[in-house]
Chains A and B, each alone.
Chain A
Amino acid sequence: MQQEPTKSALAPRATAHWLSRLQGLGPVIGLVMLCIAGTWLNSNFATPDNAMNVLTRTAFIGIIAVGMCFVIVSGGIDLSVGSMAALIAGSVIMAMNALAPMVSSPVMIVVLGMGLALVLGATFGMAHGLLITKGHIEPFIVTLGTLGIFRAYLTYFSNGGAITLDNDLNDIYSPVYYGSLMGIPIPVWVFLVVALVGGVILNRTAFGRYVQAIGSNEQVARYAAVDVDRVKILTYVLLGVCVGIATLLYVPRLGSATPTTGLLWELEAIAAVIVGGTSFKGGAGSITGTVVGAILLSVISNILNLTSIISVYLNAAVQGFVIVGVAFMQRGRR
Chain B
Amino acid sequence: MSVNVEFDNVVKEFGSVRVLHGVSFSLEAGRTVGLIGENGAGKSTLMKILAGFESISSGTLRINGQPKQFVSSREAEAQGIVLIHQEFSLAEDLTISQNLFLGHEKRRGWLLDDASMQVESAEVLAQVGLQVDVNTRVKQLIVAERQMVEIARALLRKARLLIMDEPTATLTPSETKRLFELMVQLKADGVTMVYISHKLDEVKQVTDEVIVMRDGRFVAREDTQNVTRQQMASLMVGRELSNLYPPKAPHPATAAPMLKVSGLTVPGWVEDINFEVHPGEIFGFAGLVGAGRTELFEGLLGLRPRSAGKIELQGKLTDLGSPRAAAKQGLTYLSEDRKGKGLHVKFGLRENLTLMALERYAHPFLDTNAEKAALKIAIDDYGIRTGDLHRLASSLSGGNQQKLALAKVLHPHPKVVVLDEPTRGVDVGAKRDIYFLIQRLAQEGLAVVIISSELVELIGLCHRVAVMRAGRLQTVLEQSQLTEQELIAYATGTH
Contact = CB atoms under 8 A, between A and B. Distances in A.
A216 B344 contact: yes
B365 interface: yes
B342 interface: yes
Nearest to A283: B346
A283 B392 CA distance: 13
A213 B340 contact: no
Interface string B8-27: 00000001111000000000
B327 A225 contact: yes
Interface of B is mostly: mixed
A210 B356 CA distance: 10
A284 B343 CA distance: 15
A33 interface: no
Nearest to A17: B390
Contact of B346 (A9, A10, A200, A216): A216
A284 B355 CA distance: 15
Interface string A178-210: 000000000000000000000010011110111
Contacts of A227: 322, 324
A205 B16 contact: no
Contacts of B17: 9, 12
Chain B interface category by residue count: 35 or more
A221 B324 CA distance: 10
Interface of A is mostly: helix
Interface residues of A, number: 34
A53 interface: no
Interface in B326-372: 326-328, 332-333, 335, 340-347, 351, 355-356, 358-359, 361-362, 364-366, 368
A48 to B, nearest CB: 34
B408 interface: yes
A222 B323 contact: yes
A225 B324 CA distance: 4
A159 interface: no
Nearest to B364: A205
B202 interface: no
Contact of B387 (A10, A204, A224, A225): A10
B93 to A, nearest CB: 16
A243 to B, nearest CB: 24
B215 interface: yes
B385 A2 contact: yes
Given A2-B385, A13-B387, A220-B340, A225 B365 contact: no
A331 interface: no
B332 A220 contact: no
A206 B335 contact: no
A213 B341 CA distance: 12
24 contacts: A1-B214, A2-B385, A9-B387, A12-B15, A12-B16, A13-B16, A13-B388, A17-B390, A204-B366, A205-B362, A212-B347, A213-B344, A213-B351, A213-B355, A216-B344, A216-B346, A220-B340, A220-B343, A223-B335, A223-B341, A224-B323, A225-B323, A225-B332, A284-B346
Interface of A: 1-2, 5-6, 9-10, 12-13, 16-17, 200, 203-206, 208-210, 212-213, 216-217, 219-227, 283-284, 334
Given A213-B344, A220-B341, 16 more contacts: A1-B215, A5-B18, A5-B215, A9-B387, A13-B387, A17-B390, A205-B362, A205-B366, A209-B366, A213-B355, A217-B345, A219-B341, A223-B333, A223-B341, A225-B323, A225-B327
